[in-house]
Amino acid sequence: MKKNMNTILESEIRQVLLEKGNEVTASEVLKSKIDRDIRLKESKGVKKMKILNAKKIALATLAFAVITCSVCFAASKITYYVGSSNPNNDVSNYSDIDKVMKKLDFDTNVIKEFDNGYQFKSAGITSSKGMDANDNEVSSFNKLNISYSLTGKNDIFLYITQSKNIDTEEETKSYEAIQLGDTTVYYQQMQYKLVPVDYEITEEDQANMDAGVLQISYGSDTVEETLFTFVTWDQNGLNYLLMDSASSLAKDDYLSMAEELIQSR
């Protein structure tokens, strides 16, 4: 079953924030509380945005829960994703990567070091479930999470799933399509804004949200903004997503890393 690309990206944003926060996995009880909070907000008329209570429940923990509150997509009926992972199963040495790979139901190559100097830092698996508006499980899949580090730069995150996420022109309208050999990759920068519960959406906010370049979540004491950069593509039945917060690299650097990954397959 296809998974909507924009919903997946929202999940990855939360995972990146999690990995920066070094928090623990959210329990099912916490997940249920978050779900109830989301539905309560929706019943009060908050529309077309992602709603989180990030100061009452740590934003990093929300990231682990991978709660995504969005419209119900006709094709998949998935409205949000729930994810869980066990940090004890993560590896931080490239020589141990096979311990992670053998737990996946797909095969892929993991690069140890990119030409720009980024080196393997860690790898793990997230078990994800796609849920419908009634909290019923629609689909489930495992996701390979890899982080790369370079001194003086932000970490780069790579997520690999066994599915094709890039489906329609509507989903990719806010992305720049770039041809790398026989593979089309999609590049985008998206602003993620965490705001207080009494924040009022401006006309500019709404225009950027409609254009797919801004996400707004509620729960912060002050307005906090982070710029995320994505490069994503489908190859051999897998979806690859390179992602960075604060966007510390030039566009060509992301594309070069994507090209190395494509050629490694």
- Residue 104 is given by DSSP the state S
Quick one: pLDDT at residue 53? 39
Domain count, the chain: 1
Residue with more model confidence, 2 or 167 = 167
What's the pLDDT tens digit per position in 80-113? 677 777 777 899 999 999 999 998 888 898 999 9
CA–CA dist 5, 164 (Å, integer) = 9
Q: What's the pLDDT band for 10 if we cut at 50, 70, 90?
A: low
The answer to whether the beta carbons of residues 138 and 224 sit under 8 Å apart is no
CA–CA dist 8, 11 (Å, integer) = 5
The answer to whether the beta carbons of residues 165 and 110 sit under 8 Å apart is no
Q: What's the pLDDT band for 219 if we cut at 50, 70, 90?
A: confident
Global confidence as pTM: 0.70
Helical ranges in the chain per DSSP H? 5-21, 28-43, 59-65, 97-101, 169-172, 203-210, 251-264
CA–CA dist 139, 81 (Å, integer) = 9
Q: What's the pLDDT band for 61 if we cut at 50, 70, 90?
A: very low
Evaluate if residue 185 carries a pLDDT over 70.
yes
Partners of residue 226 on adjacent β-strands: 192
* Domain span at 86: 5-264
Evaluate if residue 45 carries a pLDDT over 60.
no
Mean pLDDT of the residues in the chain = 73
pLDDT (mean) for 199-223: 86
Residue with more model confidence, 17 or 184 = 184
Residue type, 237: G
Evaluate if residue 33 carries a pLDDT over 50.
no
- Residue 222 is given by DSSP the state S
The answer to whether the beta carbons of residues 214 and 191 sit under 8 Å apart is yes
